[in-house]
Structure 1
Amino acid sequence: MQTPNLFDLPAAPAKPAPRKPRVPLALGELPVSSVPAAYDREHLYSPKAGTAERVDHRPGDRFEPLPASPSQPDAWGAWWRDFASAPTPDFLGLEPGDVITIQHATSTGTGAVVATCRFGAVVRYELPQGPWCDETHAEMYVTRRNQFGHWYR
């Protein structure tokens, strides 16, 4: 009988299974999500405490509505660490790896979801190249989806 050695490596690393493209959620549907979901005036969002009591919404599988943020800087920092930035497996149906359309101020573009938390989803998108910009990508939070299926903050 051979005993496996700590440093025995397979001949070739296993390739991860290709991820199937996910079908976007139909407009007007409330997603099954770890955070609460509401659909109001053709916009999908996660209602916060105080708002959730006044609108029809689907409760989150893991989280209640996000409590209101305090205005004091120290208290706000604690609120962000303890509540808002808590990692979640999804945000309103978005999962890391999803490619979505982002609504910018004057245009739309695509971006990839890199992380999700109770507050929203972090999306990375390409920046236009030019002499004024050294960066190739930027990141932003998205927290809502409009009636055209584009995500925004």
Structure 2
Amino acid sequence: MQTTTSPRSHLQDSLFASLAPEAPSTPMRRRVPLALGELPVSSVPAAYDREHLYSPRANTAAVVDHRPGDRFAPLPRTPHAPKAWGAWWRTEANVSTPDFLGLETGDVIALVDGDTATVVSTCRYGAVVRYELPPCEWRSKEHAEQYVTARNQFGHWYR
């Protein structure tokens, strides 16, 4: 016996096919976090002091035990004059790096406030992360970005 399908079933099939969730274009990547107290192999210097992981600057690197960076020395002191600070930011701090203290683009991390964030980019100064904002009718943005420059003893990142 031959069965035929009605035009309505084709319509239903195409409707349900269009409502099917799409696979994410870029899967979120979760890597095993570095053990607390362990210095990462990184392009920037890494120090672990008072249970916090951070990248020491030139003035503190002289007095703190740290692992040298594979590509960069500690950041020089921050100048206070506005024009000098701008030049320092462009030529020293905001230089792109393959990682920051083991964080790489695409990593999913925990922030101090309990939110999760995705690493968008890394530079010598820190890592830029993006996190979702709660829905709100007076705000048009769905996410925000911030720098993270250190990790606390609980594995949460902060600036």
The TM-score with structure 2 as length reference comes to 0.81
Indicate conservation of the 8 Å contact 2:106/2:118, yes or no: yes
Matched, 1:59 2:68: yes
Matched residues, number: 135
Amino acid at match of 2:137: P
Structure 1 residue 124, shift from structure 2 partner = 0.4
Partner-residue secondary structure (3-state), 1:81: helix
| Aligned twin of 2:125 | 119
Find the residue that maps to 1:141 and give its secondary structure: strand
Q: How many Å separate the matches in 2 of 1:99 and 1:17?
A: 13
More helix by share: 2
Which letter maps to 1:119?
Y
| Pairwise CA distance, 1:18 | 7.2
1: CA distance, partners of 2:154 / 2:28? 25
SS at match of 1:83: helix
The one-letter code sitting in structure 2 at the alignment partner of 1:32 is: V
Structure 1 stretches of 4+ with a deviation exceeding 2 A read: 16-21
The percentage of aligned residue pairs carrying the same residue is 71
Aligned counterpart, 2:47: 38
2:153 is aligned, of 143, 147, 153, to: 147
TM-score relative to the length of structure 1: 0.84
RMSD: 1.7
Q: Which runs of 5+ in 1 are unaligned?
A: 1-15
